[in-house]
Amino acid sequence: MKKLEAMEGVESSGNQTEPRDTYKIAYIIHFLLGAGNLLPWNALITAVDYFGFLYPSSHVEKVFSVAYMSSSVLVLVLMMSWGGWRRKLSFRLRMNMGFSMFVLSLMVTPTIDWIWCCSESKARSSKAYGVTVASVVVCGLADGLIGGSLIGSAGKLPKQYMQAVFAGTASSGVLVSILRIITKASLPETAQGLRTSAHFYFIFSTVILLGCIVCCNLLYELPVMQQHYKLLQDDLPSSGPKFWDVARKIQWLALGIFLIYTVTLSIFPGFIAENLESKVLGDWYPILLITMYNVSDFVGKSLTAIYVMKSIGKATCACFSRLLFYLLFTVCLHGPSWLKTECQLQRPKYQQWRWLCSWGWDWFLAQFLAGSGSFELSL
């Protein structure tokens, strides 16, 4: 109990006041690190118009999803099954390595475009696409390294820091989407304008990641965090719980999380970005659709502040019900044409507002997919 009080920054038995996070600097840094963890993934999928222009014959979003998530899961599995290397590599080193990998891989896309921008040959386009996919794999490896380290570290600290990390991950998609809309809208809708806007977009995203590296190293210099880490070192258990013992206790929760990610990532972004289109919005449609998806994701994660489902059984059933999205999206894509019909404004004076009504049922399904999934994941 005394250690808990000390970690919360209250007076200990020795009448010494423990350092407090007075200006919420540690909280803000954890928020930024959480946002930075998902920023590269959101940056890649939100630039769907740019990658579609560069590689029109490739299923970019679907390939990116498989490449990124498979490499990320691989690192997470290694971190859970082989804990010895975690003691050899400090948290600070792992975070710096991960964000450095993010920076390098995210700059690959504009760099190869600058090098091969004047080339129209299929051979060079194929090589550029291969290098881009390889950079996505590196991003996934970095995501697993940072995500596993950051969540594991925040889980040992007072609960507000874990909340800050998840709040950061929730806001990351919205912030990146706004950045993409601004960069795209600021330049003419030409091939060169699209290229330039995407280059600025990736450069700005990289600058944010460089800021995350600074924040990661600053975190260790804060007195409040030094005190937390000291308390953790003094309270280390003699032996940790076995992996399979923990797995048996959380098997239903783990299955629910597995279903959430499986259903969501098999539909978004690949299916949504490539199989759905708008005659009114053109190449703006996937960007706006992904933006609203990210907004719904943020809202869903925020709803747990109002209501939390306490029954594990009900939460697991809700996760299983997500399998219905496969049926709903299949019907929407291959079913009656009225399911894909866009609302049209006929009067000329209202045409500037046509984008507000250019949504079919697929749009509503996408928002429900995002909101429900993020809510269930936050439980």
Q: What is the pLDDT of residue 240?
A: 62
CATH code for residues 22-236 = 1.20.1250.20
Q: Residue 218 in 3-state DSSP?
A: helix
Q: Torsion over CA of 362, 62, 76 and 108, rounded to 10 degrees?
A: -120
Q: What is the pLDDT of residue 282?
A: 75
Q: Residue 82: which region, alpha, beta or left (left: phi > 0; alpha: psi -120 to 50)?
A: beta
Q: What is the pLDDT of residue 179?
A: 94
Q: Which two tokens stand for residue 190?
A: 């030409």
Q: CB–CB of 339/332 below 8 Å?
A: yes
Q: pTM surpassing 0.85?
A: no
Q: Residue 222: which region, alpha, beta or left (left: phi > 0; alpha: psi -120 to 50)?
A: beta
Q: Report residue 376 CA to chain centroid gap.
A: 16
How confident is the chain (379 residues) per 10-residue block, as mean pLDDT?
A: 42 48 89 96 92 87 91 89 72 94 95 76 77 96 94 87 89 94 91 92 96 93 85 63 76 88 84 66 82 91 82 88 90 71 48 50 82 84
Q: Which two tokens stand for residue 206?
A: 């990289």
Q: CB–CB of 285/276 below 8 Å?
A: yes
Find the helix or strand (DSSP H, E) in which 275 lies: helix 270-275
Q: What is the pLDDT of residue 305?
A: 75
Q: What is the pLDDT of residue 37?
A: 96
What lies within 8 Å, CB to CB, of 90 at 6+ separation is none
Q: How many CB atoms lie within 10 A of CB 298?
A: 20
DSSP 47: T
Q: Residue 369: which region, alpha, beta or left (left: phi > 0; alpha: psi -120 to 50)?
A: alpha
Q: Where are the alpha helices (DSSP H) in 108-157?
A: 108-115, 122-155
